[in-house]
Chains A and B, each alone.
Chain A
Amino acid sequence: MLFGRNKKNPIKIADKKAEKWTYATCGYCSVGCSIEVGTNAEGKVVGSRGVGGADVNRGKLCVKGIFEHELFESSGRGDKPLIRDSIHQGYRETNWDEAAKKMVGEINRIQETYGRDSFAVVSTGQLLTEEFYTLGKLTRGVIGTNNYDGNTTLCMASAVSGYKRSFGSDGPPGCYEDFEHTECLMAWGSNLPEQHPIIYWRLQEAREKRDFPLIVVDPRVTMLAQKADIHLAITPGTDVVLQNALMYVILDEGLEDRDYIEANTVGLEQLEAEVQKYDPTSAAAICGIDEDTIRNVARIYAKAGSAMSIWTMGINQSTHGSDGVVGINNLNLITGNVGKEGGTSLSITGQCNAMGTREWSSCSGLPGYRALENAEDREEIGKFWNVDPEFFPKKRGLAQTDIFPAIETGQIKGLWLVATNPMTSMPNTERTRKILEKLDFLVVQDSYADVETTQYAHLYLPAATWAEKEGVFTNTERRVNIVRKVTDAPGDSKSDFDIFNLLAKYFAGSEKMTFPEKPEGAFEEMKTLSKGRLVDISGMNHDLIEKQRGIQWPYTDEQADKGELPPSGGKRLYTEAGTFRYADGMAKLIPLPFIDNNEVPDDKFPFWLNTGRLVEHFHTRTKTGKLGNTNKYSPIPFMEINPDAAKELGIDQGEYVRCVSRRGDAVVMAMLTQRVPKNMVFIPFHFFDCVNRLTLGLLDPHSRQPAYKQSAVTIEILEDQQAAAQLSMEMRRF
Chain B
Amino acid sequence: MFEVRSDEPKYAFLWDKETKTKNQYGDSIELASETSDLHGVSLNINNDAALGENPNRYKQHGFYLNADNCIGCHACEAACSEKNDNPAHIAFRSVGFVEGGTYPEYQRLNISMACNHCDDPVCLKGCPTRAYTKYAEYGAVLQDPDICFGCGYCTWVCPYNAPQLDPVKGEVTKCNMCVDRLEVGLKPACVSACLGNALDFGVIENVPDNREQSKTEIPGFPRTDITHPNIRFQQTRQTKREMTRTDSMPLKYHKDEDEGQYKPVVDEKHGAKRQWNWSSLLLTHESSHVIFTLTTQAVLGAFLIIVLGHLVDSQLILAIKSSAAYLPLLVVMNGLLMTGLFKLNMHLGKPHRFYRGFYNLRHSPVSREIAGVSLFFTSLLGFTFFSFLDIELAVTLFAILGALSGPIGLFYMYKLYRIKARPFWDHWQTASSFVGNGLSIGALIIGLGILMGSGISSVLYKDLLVVLLIGLLLETAGHIAHARDLKKGAGEGAASWYHQVTLYGWPYIISNALLVLSILTTVALLAAPTSVVLWCVLAISLLSTVIIRRSLFFVLVIPTNMPGGFFWKNKGFEQHAKESGLAKMQQVGVAYEAHRVFNIKELVKTIKETSMKEAVDQIKGIFIWKEVK
Contacts and interface: CB of A to CB of B under 8 A. Distances in A.
Contact of A3 (B146, B590, B621, B627): B627
A14 B84 CA distance: 5
B611 interface: no
A15 B11 CA distance: 23
Interface stretch (B129-137, B329-337, B512-520): B129-137
Contacts of B553: none
Interface string A170-199: 000000000000000000000001100110
B120 A1 contact: yes
**Chain A binding surface SS class:** loop
B12 interface: yes
Contacts of B38: 2
A52 B132 CA distance: 35
B8 A52 contact: yes
A726 interface: yes
A656 to B, nearest CB: 10
Given A11-B176, A11-B179, A204 B587 contact: no
A671 B248 CA distance: 11
Contacts of B605: none
A600 interface: no
B26 interface: no
The B interface, classified by DSSP as helix, strand, loop or mixed, is: loop
A59 B8 contact: yes
B300 interface: no
A223 B176 CA distance: 30
A677 B101 CA distance: 12
Chain A's interface size range is 35 or more
Contacts of A615: 73-74
Given A58-B9, A654-B576, A729 B567 contact: no
Interface stretch (A253-261, A273-281, A556-564, A633-641): A633-641
B104 interface: yes
B73 A7 contact: no
A675 interface: yes
Contact of B567 (A223, A233, A632): A632
B83 interface: yes
A293 B215 CA distance: 36
B231 interface: no
A734 B585 contact: yes
Nearest to B271: A652
Nearest to B240: A674
Interface string A369-398: 000000000000000000000000000000
A673 B99 contact: yes
Given A62-B75, A628-B589, A635 B582 contact: yes
B47 A629 contact: no
Nearest to A631: B587
B105 to A, nearest CB: 8
B588 A628 contact: yes
A289 B12 CA distance: 43
Interface stretch (B152-160, B191-199, B252-260, B371-379): B191-199
A633 B568 contact: yes
Given A63-B74, A726-B580, A197 B629 contact: no
A13 B80 CA distance: 12
A361 interface: no
Contact of A6 (B72, B102, B136, B621): B621
Nearest to B119: A1
A642 interface: yes
Interface stretch (B85-93, B315-323, B405-413): B85-93
A584 to B, nearest CB: 43
Given A4-B135, A8-B44, A204 B88 contact: no
Contacts of B9: 52, 58-59
Nearest to A630: B78
B236 interface: no
A226 interface: yes
B259 to A, nearest CB: 25
A1 B627 CA distance: 7
B144 interface: yes
A517 interface: no
A47 interface: yes
A628 B89 contact: yes
B586 interface: yes
A221 interface: yes
A225 to B, nearest CB: 8
Contacts of A63: 73-75, 77-78
Contacts of A634: 566-567
B218 interface: no
Interface string A218-243: 00010101110001010000000000
B270 A197 contact: no
A5 interface: yes
A226 B5 contact: no
Contact of A9 (B120, B132, B135, B146): B146
Interface string B595-629: 00000000000000000000001000100111111
Interface in A3-39: 3-16
B483 interface: no
B108 interface: yes
A215 B114 CA distance: 33
Interface string A601-638: 00000000000000110000000011111111111101
Nearest to B583: A635
Contacts of A48: 82
B195 A233 contact: no
B588 A631 contact: yes
B626 A635 contact: no
Contacts of A16: 85
A205 B197 contact: yes
B9 to A, nearest CB: 4
Contacts of A719: none
A197 B197 CA distance: 12
A438 interface: no
A195 to B, nearest CB: 10
A628 B5 contact: no
Contacts of B279: none
Contact of B75 (A9, A61, A221, A653): A61
A691 interface: no
Interface string B96-135: 0001011110111000000000011100110000101111
A633 B96 CA distance: 11
B492 interface: no
A675 B587 CA distance: 27
Contacts of B82: 47-48, 66-67, 629
A231 B104 contact: yes
Nearest to B131: A5
A208 interface: yes
B7 interface: yes
Contacts of A678: 103
A77 interface: no
A114 interface: no
B69 interface: yes
Interface string A701-734: 0000000000000000000001001100100101
Contacts of B589: 628-629, 631-632, 635
Sorted nearest first, the 8 A-B pairs with minimum C-beta distance are A628-B88, A632-B589, A53-B7, A52-B7, A193-B71, A14-B85, A66-B78, A674-B106
23 contacts: A1-B627, A4-B136, A12-B146, A13-B45, A13-B179, A14-B83, A14-B84, A16-B85, A52-B12, A59-B8, A62-B195, A63-B73, A200-B196, A221-B106, A233-B103, A628-B587, A628-B588, A629-B78, A635-B589, A652-B269, A653-B248, A674-B102, A734-B587
Interface of A: 1-16, 47-48, 51-53, 58-63, 66-67, 193-194, 197-198, 200-201, 204-205, 208, 221, 223, 225-227, 231, 233, 615-616, 625-636, 638, 642, 652-654, 671, 673-678, 722, 725-726, 729, 732, 734
Given A3-B626, A9-B147, 13 more contacts: A2-B32, A3-B132, A4-B136, A12-B46, A61-B79, A197-B195, A632-B590, A635-B577, A638-B566, A638-B567, A654-B248, A654-B572, A729-B580
